[in-house]
Chains A and B, each alone.
Chain A
Amino acid sequence: MEKNVVLTMRGISMTFPGVKALDNVDFTLRKGEIHALMGENGAGKSTLIKCLTGINAFESGEIHVDGISGPVVNHSTLDAQKKGISTVYQEVNLCPNLSVAENLFIGREPKTRIGTIDWKTMTKKSQKIMKDLSIDIDVTQNLENYSLAIQQMIAIARAVDMESKVLILDEPTSSLDDNEVEKLFVLMRRLRAQGVGIIFVTHFLEQVYAVCDRITVLRNGQLVGEYPIEELPRVKLVAAMMGKDFDDLAAIKTEDKTDYSKAPLYIEAKGLSHKGTIKPFDFEIHKGEVVGLTGLLGSGRTELARVLYGADKTQSGTMKVNGKEVKINAPIEAMNLGMGLLPDDRKAEGIIQDLSVRENIILALQAKRGVFKLLPMSKQIEIADKYIELLQIKTASRETLIKQLSGGNQQKVILGRWLATDPEFLILDEPTRGIDVGTKTEIQKLVLKLAKEGKSIIFISSEIEEMLRTCSRMAVLRDGQKVGEITEDLTQQHVMAEIAGGGSK
């Protein structure tokens, strides 16, 4: 093994049923560096990390860790920990009801001579650990009494105290504010100085450039490349993540779009917000218009849509639908105004797993009609068949349970559910994720067709190309804030520059 290298992964491959999650991926981590692992959703970041920490088993390839001869295969997080690889996740994996000291020492508590827990030693040791990391807190207090940032740092302290050579930080900053993030960075830099190799997974570009030394980019389960930070400016990073060569992008132009500013307004929102997820924003959409929400994952694109739909209640601002001021407290109220939301997390918020395709399709329409006006079975069958046919849903029958369908077909069922309600306004959050190319085009065509019928549509996607094809206007989000709109010069280059934000030139 090369000097200064603490971890190498060579030719890692693994498949989930039907999907190649990782395809021959290499990764190298050096001593005392902070290494960003970047990629859009489904790129394989988390799978790679799970292979490393033993949660997933990889099919081929080798992992080498400094100080251990021969290839390493971990079978559990504990296993990985014993070999010096610790992970700190986005959601803090500590016990909030125990004291800071206990959280640091659980599973390896110092004992007295008679085998009881030695609280004194534990407190003393914990104080020293915290002092070494310049975190000034009372270690006898319960963990839940401290802010998320501190909890995150305690999790890191625990990992480091177990003599980790490799520290994986999996989106540790997504619920922290700027101040807290800065504190975390100070800690990371200190650990870097101590020679720990840190893998940093994040969606925030700013943070990558603030603290990292090196970037590895993955896309669709494949390695795009490993770059020193100086050699990869923001725009190029975004391009690499999205799979486009930046210099070629200018060539792709979209066809001219109709001007919708004369069309009647459907939604006019001012200053809506949801604490912790999206800062106050203004938004309007005309009838027959397709507006794209773009930004990286976690930028607030999903959250903005959820606030409009009432899935998350807004805490400020006003909203007008068709010129009338409305207040939306629950999704059903939005639905009665003619809205629909295709959520991005299909499994958690889309499908009703144990119900049939038919029942899943008619659910929203039935909810709108109310409990007493049951759709007659013949009508249900008619509707189900109509959308199975229209969207070409591949299912054994309309009575097949939706959980038995493939992801793409499940998505189509949910799409059918909303089309069945004949909405005036449809929010499509990642409607084409995990769907084959042919179907993607179909869905894009469908979106344009719906728009032509006078429906307003919000389209959210990680693939800019597909948004360019469908949207006449795009709103750009970054770090939980709507930062601008692009109405003219809709090109990939322009959009990416906007997504990447400041310092992109």
Chain B
Amino acid sequence: MKKKSRNSNTVLLFITIALFVVMYAVGCIVYKDKGFTHLQTFLNILINNSGLLCVACGMTCVMLTGGIDISVGSLIALDCMLLAVGMEQVGIHPVLMCLIVLAIGILFGAVQGFFVGYLGIQPFIVTMAGMFFARGMTAVISTAQLSINKATFFVNMANIKLEVPFGIGAYTNRKGKLQVPYIRLHVVIALLVLLVIFLVLRYTKFGRNLYAVGGNEVSAAMMGLNVKKTKMQAYILASFLCSIGGICYCMNAMAASVTQATGFEMDAIASSVIGGTLLTGGVGNVIGSFFGVLITGTISTLVKTNGKLLSSWSSIAVAALLCFFIVLQSVFALMKKRAK
């Protein structure tokens, strides 16, 4: 009985990891001559998706409670725009500016969380309003295409190369120069976020409350948990992590525009769902989401490496994967129901 019931959730995570391995292996074989086998390619996936990783962690927390947050893409655009305008045009110190961005994230999450938790409005409607609000506010700040190059402290931080020690994975490029694989500072930030959220979900009361609320809201309330507060906290955490993600994203892109990060919510939700987080809540963890991010990252890298494929292929592939996993979840749920 135990064996059989170590259930569909583990199966989902297993499928995810296997999918990543297969996809990456296929990439290595097909694009061997384009350098796909180098360690740096893998690290580039991390570099390009550090922001996504942070956002996916937050998304997972919200989805554990049975909710969803589709405002993340717009919030990132808002963050980037704030950083760009604040640092470049107004001349505020980058550290202060980052703190402002984080504070705005918390405030944004608190408002959304209040509407979802305390007023009981559907999370989708609330965060959709949030999505348009944040995107609109971005346009209020500026509609220009800005790039960040004057804020020296920020630029320096973004340009830090952390090389892999002992020259692991080093290779000589075509010009005969030795290339040591590296990551950027924001990857470290993102990985730290991942670690912290993993620990929070596992070892704190708040983390377990998220699971309980998503598992069965009525029961959670009966067992003495404050469901409304927990939900609100989840949205605050999500928007806060999204703002960290916004800073990471900005360090990678070093630019800001109104249309930045459109469709980002899709990648974040897909990463979470592919990583085994149930849309109905209560099941999932950030390790799965990490692999989810790797998969979405690999897809876009594959599309880019191919060079001939249109970039829209990657969003179609992500959407198709999301669809596949949602249907899978739904089928598992139906099977479970039938077994009872």
Report which A residues bind B (CB closer than 8 A). 77-78, 81, 92-98, 102, 106-107, 109, 115-117, 119, 138, 141-142, 144-145
Contacts and interface: CB of A to CB of B under 8 A. Distances in A.
Interface string B216-254: 101110111100000000000000000000000000000
B223 A117 contact: no
A115 B205 CA distance: 9
B214 A97 contact: yes
Contacts of A97: 211, 214-215, 282-283
Contact of B211 (A94, A98, A141): A98
Contacts of A141: 2, 5
A93 B216 contact: yes
A78 B224 contact: yes
A78 B218 CA distance: 13
Given A93-B223, A97-B282, A145 B5 contact: yes
B145 interface: no
Given A141-B2, A145-B2, A95 B205 contact: no
A26 B228 CA distance: 37
A96 B5 CA distance: 13
A155 to B, nearest CB: 9
Nearest to B218: A93
Nearest to B284: A97
Interface in B1-42: 1-2, 5-7
A81 B221 CA distance: 13
Contacts of B223: 93-95, 106-107
A77 B220 CA distance: 12
Nearest to A148: B340
A152 to B, nearest CB: 13
Interface in B28-65: none
Interface in B253-304: 282-283
B312 interface: no
A311 to B, nearest CB: 17
B287 to A, nearest CB: 16
B2 A102 contact: no
Contacts of A145: 1-2, 5-7
Contacts of A95: 211-212, 215-216, 219-220, 223, 282
A96 B216 contact: yes
B216 A102 contact: no
Nearest to B224: A107
A92 B7 CA distance: 20
Of the listed residues B1, B6, B223, the one surrounded by the most CB atoms of chain A closer than 10 A to its CB is: B223
22 contacts: A93-B218, A93-B222, A93-B223, A95-B212, A95-B215, A95-B219, A95-B220, A95-B223, A96-B216, A96-B282, A97-B214, A97-B215, A97-B283, A98-B211, A102-B208, A107-B225, A115-B204, A116-B199, A117-B202, A141-B5, A142-B5, A144-B5
B166 interface: no
Contact-residue bracket for chain B? 20 to 34
A97 B5 CA distance: 12
Contacts of A109: 205, 208
Nearest to B338: A275
A414 to B, nearest CB: 29
Contacts of A94: 216, 219, 223
A98 B205 contact: no
Nearest to A87: B222
A109 B223 CA distance: 12
Contacts of A93: 216, 218-219, 222-223
Given A77-B222, A109-B208, A98 B215 contact: yes
Contacts of A107: 223-225
A50 B47 CA distance: 57
A98 B283 contact: no
Contacts of A117: 202-205, 208
Interface of B: 1-2, 5-7, 199, 202-205, 208, 211-212, 214-216, 218-220, 222-225, 282-283
B208 A98 contact: yes
Contacts of A81: 224
A119 B218 CA distance: 25
Contacts of A102: 208, 212
Given A95-B212, A98-B208, A145-B7, A138 B219 contact: no
B2 A106 contact: no
A109 B225 CA distance: 12
A89 to B, nearest CB: 9
Q: Nearest 10 A-B pairs (CB), nearest first?
A: A95-B215, A145-B5, A97-B282, A97-B215, A116-B203, A107-B224, A93-B219, A95-B212, A93-B222, A95-B216
Given A97-B282, A106-B224, 8 more contacts: A78-B222, A95-B216, A97-B215, A106-B208, A106-B220, A116-B203, A117-B204, A145-B1
B329 to A, nearest CB: 13
Contacts of B205: 109, 117
A144 B215 CA distance: 10
Given A97-B214, A117-B208, A106 B225 contact: yes
Nearest to A111: B205
A116 B5 CA distance: 29
A63 B38 CA distance: 75
Contacts of B5: 141-142, 144-145
A133 B136 CA distance: 60
A138 B218 CA distance: 25
Contacts of A119: 203
Contact of B212 (A78, A92, A106, A116): A106
B17 to A, nearest CB: 20
Nearest to A143: B215
A299 to B, nearest CB: 22
A33 B281 CA distance: 41
A93 B283 CA distance: 18
Of the listed residues A98, A138, A145, the one surrounded by the most CB atoms of chain B closer than 10 A to its CB is: A98
A176 B282 CA distance: 25
Given A93-B222, A95-B220, A116 B204 contact: yes
Contacts of B218: 93
Contacts of B214: 97
Contacts of B1: 145
Contacts of B212: 95, 98, 102, 106
Nearest to A155: B219
Contacts of B202: 117
A74 to B, nearest CB: 13
A98 B202 CA distance: 11
A504 to B, nearest CB: 34
Nearest to A107: B224
A468 B280 CA distance: 49
Contacts of A138: 2
B89 to A, nearest CB: 43
Contacts of B216: 93-96
A252 to B, nearest CB: 44
B145 to A, nearest CB: 46
B225 to A, nearest CB: 6
A138 B5 CA distance: 13
A477 to B, nearest CB: 23
